[in-house]
Chain A
Amino acid sequence: MYQATETYLNQAYISLPKIGENMVKFNSHAKQKVGSKVGSLNVMKGNASPHSDVSDKAVIIMLIAVVVISLLSLGLYIYTSAQDTPDIAAGQAIAQEAPSQGIISLEIVPPPQPAPIVDTYD
């Protein structure tokens, strides 16, 4: 099968039909869509004017944007999955506080002995 793809009139190339079939007709002066079926030859409709349809470039940009957004979404999901683990889950084991210690001290010493009475008078 012969095929002419996405063409503007001034860039078009059209494969020749088989012998005996009708030629593709086009107006080389007007920017308009071209597409006609000539026997078994399919001439794809191209964009005759950049204002009349979405260009190939726009489609490709959109597709690339879809891929980038999808990758960002996947990356964000993986990142948030790694971050959202709670510190302490409900129903966890009883939390035990490290014990604190207090000290009580006491020392009882013998009372001082009274000084001996010294008789200084002879």
Chain B
Amino acid sequence: MVQLSNRSIVYLLVIAMAITLASTVLNVSKLGYLGNMITGAATNTSVGTATLTVTSQTAVTMRVSSIAFGSGFVNTTSAVCTYCQSSTESGHASGNESCCSRFNNVTAGFFLENTGNENVTLNVTCSGSCTAAEFVNGTSPLFQFRVVNSSDGASTGKTSNNSADTTTDTTSSCSSGDGGWNYSSYTAMAASTFDLCGKNTSVAYFFGAQPTRNAVIMDILVKIPADAITASAKTATLTFAAASAG
């Protein structure tokens, strides 16, 4: 057997002790007993706060992002046709179908789904031809929008495009806070920003993230007078933005 002197053993012991001490100092200092390494440590000894952090994700996905009414005209050869009215809620207005010549019969509004795991705000900003006069023109035109729950179509039996939903909504997606979706009735489009869910503030995080209450539909309505003519295709760009508290 190889003989090791006591001196060698002492060296090994010193190394072991040094390493152990270094580990201990690091761990203890990490716990806050040495130095101020925990910035969020409680300072009031009578009240303690335990915090659990779950990774948050803020994401809103647009399932339907284009509404093209196409190119057409009001069928003035019919005496009853003074306008063409169409909406993504129900397509061409009932009884008015023959007046909307060559226009696309669009029955799907913008569809947005909160695909993150945080309740969010939701707002929309319009740019481009945002007013009825710019987008349609003519005498007494309409260019309006409304915001409704994805679940409304199923509950009312109306035409809805909620088939785009990953999980079909069964209840209001903006039921928290107060007021639900703003602009649930048709409202004139304008070149400005609209807070859509809950209060008219940018910190109303009420657009839900639960799969059965996380989708919203924005319907668009246009009323095209018989004397309306656009020199070219008009476009309005809607920019949707969402924010969470993190």
Residues of A within 8 A of B (CB): 56-57, 59-60, 63-64, 66-67, 70-71, 73-74, 77, 81, 86-97, 99-111, 114
Q: 13 A-B Cβ contacts within 8 A? A: A57-B1, A60-B4, A67-B16, A70-B19, A77-B23, A94-B244, A97-B59, A99-B239, A102-B62, A106-B69, A107-B230, A107-B234, A114-B77
Which residues does chain A contribute within 8 Å of B65, judged by CB atoms? 100-103
| B56 on the A face (CB < 8 A) | yes
Which residues does chain A contribute within 8 Å of B137, judged by CB atoms? 108
What band does the interface of chain B fall in when counting residues whose beta carbon is under 8 Å from A?
35 or more
Q: Is A106 within 8 A of B136, CB to CB? A: yes
Which residues does chain B contribute within 8 Å of A63, judged by CB atoms? 9, 12-13, 16
Known contacts being A97-B116, A102-B65, A109-B73, is A88 close to B53, with CB within 8 Å? yes
Complex CA–CA separation, A108 to B225 (angstroms): 10
Complex CA–CA separation, A70 to B17 (angstroms): 9
Which residues does chain B contribute within 8 Å of A73, judged by CB atoms? 23
Q: Is A105 within 8 A of B19, CB to CB? A: no
How far does the Cβ of B155 sit from chain A's closest Cβ, in whole Å? 24
Complex CA–CA separation, A93 to B120 (angstroms): 14
Q: Is B233 within 8 A of A70, CB to CB? A: no
| B232 on the A face (CB < 8 A) | yes
Complex CA–CA separation, A108 to B112 (angstroms): 28
Complex CA–CA separation, A86 to B162 (angstroms): 36
| B188 on the A face (CB < 8 A) | no
Which residues does chain A contribute within 8 Å of B9, judged by CB atoms? 59-60, 63
Which residues does chain B contribute within 8 Å of A77, judged by CB atoms? 23, 26-27
Q: Is B228 within 8 A of A108, CB to CB? A: yes
Which residues does chain B contribute within 8 Å of A81, judged by CB atoms? 30
Q: Is B58 within 8 A of A102, CB to CB? A: no
How far does the Cβ of A44 sit from chain B's closest Cβ, in whole Å? 10
Known contacts being A94-B244, A96-B58, A96-B243, is A105 close to B68, with CB within 8 Å? yes
Which residues does chain A contribute within 8 Å of B229, judged by CB atoms? 108-110
| B190 on the A face (CB < 8 A) | no
0 or 1 for each of B1-45: is its CB under 8 Å from A? (1 = yes): 101100001001101100110110011001000000000000000
Q: Is A111 within 8 A of B120, CB to CB? A: no
Complex CA–CA separation, A118 to B228 (angstroms): 30
Q: Is B230 within 8 A of A106, CB to CB? A: yes
Most B CB contacts (10 A, CB to CB) among A89, A94, A108, A110 go to A108
Q: Is B12 within 8 A of A109, CB to CB? A: no
Which residues does chain A contribute within 8 Å of B55, judged by CB atoms? 86-88
How far does the Cβ of B61 sit from chain A's closest Cβ, in whole Å? 7
How far does the Cβ of B21 sit from chain A's closest Cβ, in whole Å? 10
